[in-house]
Copies of this chain bind each other. A is one copy, B any other.
Amino acid sequence: MLSHILFYSLDKAIKQYRRFAQANIDRAGIAITIDQWLVLRVILEKDDLTQTDIGERVFKDQASVARIIRLLTQRGLLAAESLPHDGRRTRLRVTEEGQRTLEAVQPIVLSNRQLALQGLTEADQALLSQLLDRIYVNCSPASDSDNQA
Using a CB–CB distance below 8 Å, which chain A residues touch chain B?
2, 4-17, 19-21, 42, 57-59, 113, 115-120, 124-125, 127-129, 131-136, 138-140
Contacts and interface: CB of A to CB of B under 8 A. Distances in A.
Given A11-B59, A12-B59, A17-B139, A6 B113 contact: yes
Contact of A139 (B5, B19, B124): B19
Contacts of A124: 131
Chain A at the B interface: SS class: helix
Contacts of A15: 59
Contacts of A139: 13, 16-17, 19-21, 115-116
B6 A117 contact: yes
A4 to B, nearest CB: 8
Given A6-B125, A12-B136, 8 more contacts: A2-B58, A9-B132, A9-B133, A10-B13, A10-B132, A16-B135, A124-B131, A128-B132
